[in-house]
Amino acid sequence: MGRVAIVEDGRHLGHFSEGHPERPDRVETIRAHLSSSPAMRALARLPAEAVDDDVLLRVHSQQHLDRVAALCAAGGGSFDLDTYATAFSDKAARISAGGAVRAVDAVVVEGFDASFAVVRPPGHHATTGSAMGFCVYNNVAVAVEHARATLGIARCAIVDIDVHHGNGSEATFWNDPAVLYTSLHEYPFYPGTGALADRGGPGAEGLTVNVPLAAGTSAATWLQGFDDAVLPALRAFEPELIVVSCGFDAHRDDPLADLRLDTATYAAVAERLASLTALPAAGRTVWVLEGGYDLDALTASTQAVLDALIAA
Ligand SMILES: [Zn+2]
């Protein structure tokens, strides 16, 4: 039985734009669902804290932090066509990144077998210098750099299962020989990156593993891609920490994308990662919410992952 912690925080509510799919209900519906289940209520609940500049600056430029602060100080606005900010968004995004950091601490420092950060705004499109694709700060990248800078973790793997390619995460670690980035994603699709031939920069060749999949790809084909590309890469890389960029927008019910996963697919991913006990990470995993825009699919998929992690 795995010891699993949930990281959550209600202070994302001030990050909100009327009619936008990346909305507070995404996290609130999951939180309400977890609170209504006796088994889930028994899990440890950990709060998130907003991260300071020094934590963000391991990934992002000062210019990016200044731009976010200025837009929020002006009352909010837009970073690009689909990425908004309110006066509260800087704080909300810092709490979201802090949730990912807290989830890493839960596993690495506090000895949980797995942790799941139910946070928003998401992060994997945010680059060193800019917000994009609903993302302000790159939560997972910040969490990985936190583990490396403060917890003595040398080798980290990011397993990105969001339906969109995590261009920000890939770019952040493109030349980094100590971080493996893997992604299964719909392709061609937003944000346009994630080609099969993109395998990492000089000194890190093969440490970016992209599995582009056509619209309409089935759950079975997706899982085959995971087994054929992601699992061997993890075994070869031998990470000390595995962080999952956990978007649920590859679910068949998601309104923004066209892959055909179901809740069982997400449970299968959790089972497979937890079974990698021979690696230095010892089957321990940190999950950080990314996308996912159908509320029922979000809650059912989160539940499926947590059930699999508890059973592992
Ligand atoms: Zn996505």
pLDDT (tens digit per residue) in 56-115:
999 999 999 999 999 999 999 999 999 999 999 999 999 999 999 999 999 999 999 999
Boundaries of every domain in the chain: 4-311
**Cα 186 to ligand 1 centre (Å):** 10
Q: At a CB cut-off of 8 Å and minimum separation 6, what does 164 contact?
A: 124, 125, 133, 185, 186, 189, 190, 191, 247, 249, 257, 291
Give yes or no for residue 41 having a pLDDT over 90.
no
Structure tokens at 281: 């990470």
Give yes or no for residue 1 having a pLDDT over 90.
no
The per-residue pLDDT for 38 is 85
**Cα 293 to ligand 1 centre (Å):** 9
* 210 neighbors 196 (Cβ within 8 angstroms): yes
SS3 271: helix
Give yes or no for residue 201 having a pLDDT over 90.
yes
**Cα 152 to ligand 1 centre (Å):** 30
Enclosing H/E stretch for 289: strand 285-289
**Residue 27 binned pLDDT confidence (cut-offs 50, 70, 90):** very high
**Cα 260 to ligand 1 centre (Å):** 14
Structure tokens at 294: 């159908």
**Residue 304 binned pLDDT confidence (cut-offs 50, 70, 90):** very high
CATH of the domain spanning 4-311, picked from 3.40.50.2300, 3.40.800.20, 3.30.420.270, 2.130.10.10: 3.40.800.20
Q: Among the options 60, 64, 125, 251, which is catalytic?
A: 125
**Residue 39 binned pLDDT confidence (cut-offs 50, 70, 90):** confident
CA 83 to chain centroid, in Å, comes to 17
Enclosing H/E stretch for 6: strand 4-8
Give the CA radius of gyration of the chain.
Answer: 17
* 281 neighbors 15 (Cβ within 8 angstroms): no
**Cα 161 to ligand 1 centre (Å):** 9
Which of 261, 184, 270, 287 is CA-nearest to residue 226?
184
CA distances from 176 to 14, 73, 79, 97, 286 (A): 35, 34, 28, 21, 20
**Residue 185 falls in the annotated catalytic set:** no
**Cα 267 to ligand 1 centre (Å):** 18
275 phi, psi to nearest 5 deg: -80, -5
Could you give the CA distance from residue 60 to residue 265 in angstroms, rounded to a whole number? 33
**Residue list, CB under 5 A from ion ligand 1:** 162, 164, 247, 249, 291
**Cα 243 to ligand 1 centre (Å):** 16
